[in-house]
Structure 1
Amino acid sequence: MFTGIVEELGSVVAVEDRGQDARLVVRGPLVVSDAHLGDSIAVDGVCLTVSGLPGDGTFAADVMPESLRRTALGALRAGAPVNLERALAVGGRYGGHVVQGHVDGVGTVLRREPGERWDEVEIGLPAGLARYVAEKGSIAVSGVSLTVTHVGDESFGVSLIPTTLAHTTLGTLEPGSPVNLEVDVLAKYAERLLTAVAR
């Protein structure tokens, strides 16, 4: 489990295309400092398992076909910046919201409007996800826990504070950029329970 509070802005060192799956090598000295094989690290909001520790502050992770289909990881290239977060340690601070690292779909940055010290960003939603997004609710955008400022049938808005702009990939995204979206898992469970009761 993660919180959506990005610990480090890392970078992709290598992407090995293996046909249906891929292997990523990512540089992130902070998240690797106490990493072991089998640990979970969120890369742009996608929970990946550490499968190798080559050294020099890097880790390797295998990306399965399901993750390539449902996320924007397949578009990553060497040199690309990525948001990194280690799994929440028991007793650790819980600053964001419940983030599983199980991406629900890929959204698209539609527009951004700079403010005095912040940016307002509108993000397009894949069909079927809008019902899980609520104004003042939480959503993870490329692994960053954000509060929804407004929501429509096909998009939602967020405000990016200076810290988010400076220390995550969201600060440099342009209109047209893909982002990984994970809606609040509590909304999905609530819908599932209500559907079961209605039967």
Structure 2
Amino acid sequence: MVQSFKKFGFAVLVTVFGAFSVNAQSDLMWKIDKAHTSVNFSVNHFFSSVTGKFTSFEGDINFDRNNLKSSKVDFTVLINSVNTDDKKRDEHLQSSEFFDVQVYPNMTFKSTKVEKKSEKEYSVYGKLTIKDITKDVVLPMKITGEMEHPMMKGKIILGVLIDTTLNRTVYGVGTGDWATTMVVGDEVRIQIPMELNRMK
């Protein structure tokens, strides 16, 4: 009886650690190549479009097309890195009338699940926080390419693109006169082309 119990216990341990090993192997952590990644936005100003970008960001990307349940994305953007090629406008965007960077220095996205739409298209569900306001969003993610690095043996490159729109007024970005959409539009287009890499 004791011997049978020991064998049963050993079998349970093997099963548990075996499952852990499989999950660990399926977790594919990708490093963001910041030199080839950008966080871009555009918004209407009267009848023209103003473009800009955030130059400082960090992220943890765990993406495995064969194990979407373990895939997740955490991404943080530093608001004071906003750059629209106009210093006065950048300072205004950082002020309390827009992002209020002194109180809310970052915007963050934390995924809750990743869903496959097609071979190259995925939906990343998660929570986006701007100015301490958190909303559920779905980010469309397109795979733009995958290959072995031609000059770095053993390294895989993955290209992805996030292309979506957000309503700035939902997050309180633009207060007072700037809350209206007469001058600055409410819909902000977000484009994030990313180059990710990992070892094979």
TM-score computed with the length of structure 1 as normaliser: 0.27
Larger Rg, first or second structure (1 or 2): 2
Where relative contact order (Cα < 8 A, 6+ residues apart) is larger, the structure is: 1
More helix by share: 2
More strand by share: 2
TM-score computed with the length of structure 2 as normaliser: 0.27
